[in-house]
Amino acid sequence: MTKSISTSRVGNNAAMGLALDVLLISAGIAAYFLFPDNLGFLTRVLIMIIMVLSLDLVLGYAGIATLGHAALFGTGAYAAGLFAVYISGDPLLGLGVGAAAGGVIAFFSGLILMRAHGLTLLMLSIAVAQVLQEIVNKERPVTGGSDGLQGIDMDPVLGIFAFDFFGRTGYWYALIVLFVVFFFLKIVVASPFGLAARGIQESAPRMRAIGTPVYWRLVGIYTLAGAVAGIAGALSAQVTELVSLDALGFTLSAEALIMLILGGLGRLYGAFFGTIIFMTVHHTAASIDPFNWLFVIGALVLLVVYFVPEGLLGLPEKLRKHLRWGG
């Protein structure tokens, strides 16, 4: 009986996951035709979803608290931008460079960060981003400093699809990269590697007791997340053809964390819903009142944290529970 219920639950979860996958892909395609005049904004949303997915891998699955995730995003952005300026404008090669740069920074910083916990870990993660930002600012002849890295000229994607002023190619390019990353991460979190990360989040001492190398697992998951964040940064550099110091700023890290909290941690799908809601509310509120839009974001976060601490993705389940109790 128990086995039958468990099998049924797994089947329901798989069906729900497939339905969400189809919904997200359909929404991504439909958005291109429904909002042809807002492709620039929609592309930024897609890029931020990749960034938040990488943060979910770190925080939602492994329980690594960080406020310096922009260090990985910005490293990928500057690496891809410099690669395009000085070596080659090939977009796919640039993505690889951004992923490698983000992964390398994550690995070496992770060797230190993964030995810390709690507030110390938070402060160290912020410090890494600040150090990188200062290095980029000082190397003005190469990076452009506070003026940003300019002169990025991208070649057509696959030598066929040129980046255009309206952002059509940029949108499809970002959308395809997003879903390649998303389905790759779905495989990762369902693998023994991903399950080990969940086990470490729930009880690191127990994982050590069964022989899991906890420290190196955490370094590994942080390195993988760094590569994904580097891809997001590289996409940003390629699509906008500009990289600024904001790519390494604390604000970006904080906003990514808010997006993840809004959507829900440890689900991957939460990155989609949280990012879309945050950036849509931000875009709308800032256009109405450029000075007080943060009030709206703050109120939204308070409501979600208070009423749906699991994130908006947990709202249907919460409603079902309330209806069941009412019945």
The residue whose two tokens read 């930024």 is 44
Q: Are 117 and 200 in contact (CB under 8 A)?
A: no
What are the φ/ψ torsions at residue 161 (nearest 5 degrees)? Answer: -95, 105
Q: What is the pLDDT of residues 84-93, one digit of tens each?
A: 999 988 999 9
Tokens of 241: 């053809």
- pLDDT per residue as tens, the chain (327 positions): 444 444 455 556 667 778 888 899 999 999 999 998 889 999 999 999 999 999 999 998 988 989 999 999 999 999 999 999 999 889 999 999 999 999 999 999 999 999 988 889 999 999 999 999 999 999 888 888 888 888 888 888 888 888 887 788 999 999 999 999 999 999 999 999 989 989 988 888 888 888 889 899 999 999 999 999 999 999 999 998 889 899 999 999 999 999 999 988 888 888 999 999 999 988 888 888 777 777 888 888 888 888 877 777 777 776 676 666 655
CA dist 95 to 133, 157, 165, 171, 225, Å? 21, 11, 21, 15, 15
The residue whose two tokens read 């300026």 is 85
DSSP per position, 13-76: HHHHHHHHHHHHHHHHHHHHHH-GGGHHHHHHHHHHHHHHHHHIIIIIIT----S-THHHHHHH
Q: For residue 323, what pLDDT is reported?
A: 63
Q: For residue 1, what pLDDT is reported?
A: 45
Q: Are 251 and 115 in contact (CB under 8 A)?
A: no
Which helix or strand (DSSP H or E) is residue 79 part of? helix 70-86
Residue among 46, 67, 40 at smallest CA distance from 181: 46
Q: Are 60 and 257 in contact (CB under 8 A)?
A: no
Q: Are 155 and 143 in contact (CB under 8 A)?
A: no
Q: For residue 12, what pLDDT is reported?
A: 60
Residue-level length of the chain: 327
Amino acid at 118: G
The residue whose two tokens read 């709206």 is 296
Amino acid at 15: A
Q: So where are the chain's domains?
A: 37-276
Q: Number of helices and strands (H, E) in the chain?
A: 14, 0
Cβ-based neighbour number of residue 309 at 10 Å: 12
Q: For residue 93, what pLDDT is reported?
A: 95
Tokens of 2: 């128990």
Q: Are 116 and 64 in contact (CB under 8 A)?
A: no
CA dist 104 to 107, 165, 226, Å? 5, 33, 8
- Range 196-219 burial, b when 16+ CB lie within 10 A, else e: bbebbbeebeebeeeeeebeebbb
Beta-bridge partner residues of 157: 161
Q: For residue 221, what pLDDT is reported?
A: 95
Q: For residue 225, what pLDDT is reported?
A: 95
